[in-house]
């Protein structure tokens, strides 16, 4: 998709493009090659949280050239306060068992790290053979808890971003690039 010929309505409220679709694809391919090498003979199980990770998961899977499996879970926050603590409710659990499997947790973006920390603890309790993290965007600056990231796409400034699966109130997910929103459009919604 050419970013300059996108529907104007879709671009409404978009401020600055931080990562073009081409930049993202190139980096995803690099991650996929590393993962393919590291997991030879291990048939990794890629696990993601719906729905933001869908673009990244699908593109990443296409660049991995060894056998793998994939599964998704879905979470929701009890309240804004509990969300800040990373306490989330699993709304849809994984369908596959991860016990004894080499699990690669694939995440679109990590900010404070609280959500990921909570989810990793939940998954570890199921005794996978190994559990690693692959994240596309890392905000770093706001990290409140150390989480081990084995594969990282990009460091990203501390700004709210949308596109490539990431939403603002469910919108903008289908932008092919990742961009900031202008502050007025965030406030006026």
Q: Tokens 């409710």 map to which residue?
A: 89
Q: Say whether residue 114 binds ligand 5GP (CB under 6 A).
A: yes
In the sheet that 14-19 helps form, which strands lie side by side, from edge to edge?
A: 14-19, 178-181, 161-162
Q: Say whether residue 175 binds ligand 5GP (CB under 6 A).
A: no
Applying CB under 6 A, the span of 3-11, 56-64, 93-101, 157-165 interacting with ligand 5GP comes to 157-165
Secondary element (H or E) of residue 68: none
State the catalytic residue, choosing from 59, 108, 111, 138.
Answer: 111
- 111, 132, 134, 181: residue in contact with ligand 5GP (rule CB under 6 A): 111
Site string for ligand 5GP, 34-53 (x = CB under 6 A): ------------------x-
Peptide bond into 141 cis (omega under 30): no
Applying CB under 6 A, the span of 3-11, 19-27, 110-118, 126-134 interacting with ligand 5GP comes to 110-118
Q: Say whether residue 3 binds ligand 5GP (CB under 6 A).
A: no
CB 125 within 8 A of CB 156: no
Q: What CA–CA distances, in Å, run from 21 to 18, 39, 171?
A: 10, 27, 18
Q: Say whether residue 13 binds ligand 5GP (CB under 6 A).
A: no
Q: Tokens 């679109």 map to which residue?
A: 108
Q: Where does this chain bind ligand 5GP (CB under 6 A)?
A: 52, 86, 108-116, 160-162, 166-167
């Amino acid at each position: 998709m050419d970013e300059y010929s996108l529907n104007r309505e879709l671009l409404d409220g978009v401020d600055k493009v931080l990562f073009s679709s081409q930049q993202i694809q190139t980096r995803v391919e690099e991650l996929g090659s590393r993962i393919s090498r590291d997991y030879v003979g291990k048939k990794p199980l890629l696990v993601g949280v719906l729905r933001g990770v869908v673009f990244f998961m699908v593109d990443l899977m296409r660049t991995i050239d060894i056998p793998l499996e994939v599964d998704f879970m879905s979470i929701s926050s009890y309240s804004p306060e509990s969300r800040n603590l990373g306490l989330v409710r699993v709304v849809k659990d994984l369908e596959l068992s991860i016990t004894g499997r080499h699990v690669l947790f694939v995440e679109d973006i990590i900010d404070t790290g609280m959500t990921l920390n909570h989810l990793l603890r939940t998954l570890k309790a199921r005794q996978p053979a190994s559990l690693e993290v692959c994240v596309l965007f890392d905000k770093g600056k706001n990290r409140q808890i150390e989480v081990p990231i084995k594969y990282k796409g990009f460091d990203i400034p501390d700004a709210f971003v949308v596109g490539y699966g990431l939403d603002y109130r469910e919108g903008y997910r289908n932008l092919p690039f990742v961009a900031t929103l202008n502050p007025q459009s965030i406030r006026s919604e």
